[in-house]
Structure 1
Amino acid sequence: MSFAAIEGQDRVKRILQNSLREDKVSHAYIFTGPAGTGRRAMAKAFAQAIYCKVLPDDACGECLDCRKVEHGNHPDLYIIEPDGASIKIEQIRELQKQFAYRASASGVKMYILQDADKMTVQAANSLLKFLEEPTSQVVAVLLTDNGNALLPTIRSRAQWVPFMPLNKSSMTKQLLNEGHPAVLVQAAVRLASGTGAARELIQGNGFAEIRNLVIQLTKESLSRLPSALLTAQQKLGKGELSEQLPRFLDMLILWLKDMVRLSLGHRDDLVYTDQTEWMTQQVYQYRVEHWISCLEHAVETQKRLRFHANSQLALENILMRLKGV
């Protein structure tokens, strides 16, 4: 995979390609940024470029080394992923053991650490020692959604490479060109930081159904609250969508943002564009402060659910607040 094949992240590409051209590749990098921004693909492209025998600052994709990286069997490249919920010290020790041997003809050994922020304290301390005292020419790439969760001593020994969310309009254009429904694209590009992640959302189980449920429950909450509470219990409480409550809240927050925009007189950049007429009829039943309060409450509920608040009670409170109860 060449750098050009990765969407966006032009600044990251310049940093990495300049280091290759000038023979100043760092011994360690932290690729940090939201999920879906292409961190893993970039790390793989960087590995191919390092080992490529044809091009000085990119991967040709055709030489033997490029193909080995692509197929995951290059002898000098190691990819470490969490073992269960965390990266354990045994995994780092095994990495150090493998790196005690001399690299092949390339002369460079490289490892990619997926979800590096999930290292145990022992694993992180072991990695720190490895970063300080590499046994040979080594390039490390640590991938993480949150680079600040890494030990400060690790951060100080690696080059920080931030990945930015992709432009929403370009993501939208790409996904629409692929034939995905516009109503799903509008939601997905606001919940994902990259085209690939947005595509996975759209194609994933339950995404369209959750969107429809947001529409159903908001309509019922504003007109037949008891019906909304029953539907929520059946569908999200113990029903087939019970594990989708976080996604439901994501989609509900998008709906509430639309209502705030409409109450302020803005009809552009809406997510639920197919519901604009009905939403416009409803929005002026309440003052703008009501919709802002509902939005703030939904965001706060989302945070509390991460700490295991009662999900059914939290959901009922949101629906009652929509009605103004």
Structure 2
Amino acid sequence: MSFNDIPGQTTAKRMLQNSLRRGKVSHAYIFSGPVGTGRKAMAFALAQAIYCKESEDDACGECLECRKVLHGNHPDIHLVEPDGATIKIDQIRTLQKEFAYKATASATKIYILVQAERMTTQAANSLLKFLEEPSSSVVAILITENGHALLPTIQSRAQWVSFTPMPRRDMMAALQQEGLPLTLIRPAVHLAAGLGAARELATASWFAEMRNVVLQLAKETYTRFPQAFMTIQQKLTKSELAEHLPTFYDLLTLWLKDMVQLCLLRREHLVYPDHSDWMEPLARTRDVREWIRLTGQAVELQKRLRSNANPQLLLERTMIAIQGGVICIR
């Protein structure tokens, strides 16, 4: 995989390629940023560039070393992911045993720790021993959503590479070129930090169904309120969508933000413009401050869902809260 195959992340690519050109690859990196920003892909792109026999600062994709990385069978790359909820000390000890041996196919061994912030304290302290005594023949890449969650001593011994969300406009343009429906692209790019994650949402059948349910419930709340409770039971809590309830709140929050925009007569950046025929008159029945308050309330209710609140009761309470707003004073 070439660095050019990863969309965006220009600063991260420049930093890594400069290190490759100067022959000063760090013994440890922290790839920190949101899910979907290409951190894991960048880790393997760096590994491929390090091993590549033809290119100085990227992977040619054709040499034997590049093909080994691409096919996932390079003997000197070791991937560590959480075993259950955490990365355990035994997993780090296994790596430490590998440290004692020289690389078999190349001059460098590379270790990639996915969700590194989920290391137990014992595992993190065990890893710290390697970071305190770096070997020129070993490169560690720690992938994390929040590098600040790692031990300060680990942070100080690794080079930080920040990953930022890809601009929505760029993601929308790329997904439109792929022929995906705009009705799904719009909410997907608001919920995803990178192109891959947005594509995964926009192509998922459950995501399309959840979007429809959110809009149906929003409309029923104001037109056929009792029916909304039946919809919650039939299409959310008693269906396969039940495992995606956090996304329900994400999509509902986007709808409420659309209502704020419509109340302010701003139509250019709506997430659900295909439903503006009934949303716009409804938006004007309330003061913009009420829509803003409801948006904040939806976010708070989502937090309670994450705290294991009863989903059915929480969803019903959400619809009651949205239905019981104040009359617009405009």
TM-score range, shorter chain: over 0.9
- 1:177 is matched with which residue? 177
1:186 CA drift (Å): 0.5
**Which residues of structure 2 form unaligned runs of 5+?**
326-330
Q: For residues 233 and 124 of structure 1, what CA distance do their matches in structure 2 show?
A: 44
CA distance in 2, matches of 1:309, 1:154: 36
Contact 2:27 2:135 in 1 (8 A): no
| 1:134 Cα deviation after fit | 3.6
In structure 2, what is the equivalent of residue 211 of structure 1?
A: 211
Structure 1: gaps of 5 or more residues:
none
1:244 is aligned to 2:244: yes
Partner of 1:30: 30
- 1:133 Cα deviation from its structure 2 partner: 1.9
Q: Which residue of 2 aligns with 1:297?
A: 297
Residue in structure 1 matched with residue 50 of structure 2 by the alignment: 50
User: Match of 1:281?
Assistant: 281
- Aligned partners of 1:252 and 1:78: how far apart in 2? 41
Instruction: Please name the residue that 1:234 is paired with.
Output: 234
CA contact (8 A) 2:75 2:105 kept: no
TM-score by length of 2: 0.96
* Residues 1:195 and 2:195 aligned together: yes
Cα distance in 1 for residues equivalent to 2:240 and 2:65? 47
Q: What one-letter code is carried by the residue in structure 2 that aligns with 1:37?
A: T
CA apart distance, 1:242: 1.5
Q: Does the residue aligned with 1:106 lie in a helix, a strand or coil?
A: coil
Alpha-carbon shift at residue 287 of structure 1 (Å)? 1.2
The alpha carbon displacement at 1:83 in A equals 1.3
Coordinate RMSD, CA, aligned: 1.3
TM-score calculated relative to the size of structure 1: 0.97
Distance in 1 of aligned mates of 2:249 and 2:105: 52
The residue number in structure 1 matching 2:264 is: 264
1:79 paired with 2:98, answer no
Pairwise CA distance, 1:237 = 2.2
Aligned residues: 325
Residue 230 of structure 1 aligns with an amino acid whose one-letter code is: M
1:168 and 2:168 are equivalent in the alignment = yes
CA deviation after TM superposition for structure 1 residue 107, in Å: 1.7
- How far apart, in 1, do the equivalents of 2:16 and 2:142 lie? 14
CA-to-partner distance for each residue in 1:271-306, whole Å, 9 max, x for gaps? 001001211111111111221111010011111211
CA distance in 2, matches of 1:117, 1:19: 25
CA contact (8 A) 2:37 2:193 kept: yes
Rounded to whole Å, the distance in 1 between the matches of 2:30 and 2:281 is 49
Question: Which whole-Å deviations, capped at 9, do the CAs of 1:244-275 have from their partners, x for residues lacking one?
Answer: 21111111001000001111111111000100
Classify the secondary structure of the residue corresponding to 1:309: coil
Superposition deviation, residue 105 in structure 1 = 5.5
Given that 1:45 and 1:59 are in contact with CA atoms closer than 8 Å, whether structure 2 keeps it comes out as yes
Aligned residue type for 1:57: D
How much has 1:106 moved relative to structure 2?
A: 2.9
The match for 1:118 is 118
Percent identity reads 61
Find the residue that maps to 1:267 and give its secondary structure: coil
CA distance in 1, matches of 2:156, 2:231: 51
